[in-house]
Amino acid sequence: MNTAEREIAKLFTSNSLKAIASGNLSSLEKVINNSTLSSNININSIYDIYSSAFDFLSQNYRNEYVYKNFIARKILRGKHSLQTSVLLSEFRVGQNKADLVLLNGCSTCYEIKTEYDSLLRLEDQLQSYIQLFEKVYVVCPKSLQTDVEAIIPHNIGIIILNDNNTLRTIKEAISNNIFDISLMMKSLRKEEYL
Dump pLDDT digits (tens) for 42-52: 677 888 888 88
Dump pLDDT digits (tens) for 39-86: 666 677 888 888 888 988 999 899 999 999 999 999 888 787 778 888
Dump pLDDT digits (tens) for 115-131: 999 999 999 999 999 98
pTM: 0.86
Task: Write out the DSSP string of 64-81.
Answer: HHHHHHHHIIIIIIHHS-
The DSSP code for 172 is P
Query: In the predicted model, what is the mean pLDDT of the chain?
Result: 86
Domains by residue range for the chain, with CATH: 3-60 (no CATH), 64-193 (3.40.1350)
Indicate if the alpha-carbon torsion angle 78, 168, 116, 153 is positive or negative: positive
Q: Give the span between the Cα atoms of 13 and 16, in whole angstroms.
A: 5
User: Which residue from 116, 85, 86, 111 is spatially nearest to 98, judged by alpha carbons?
Assistant: 111
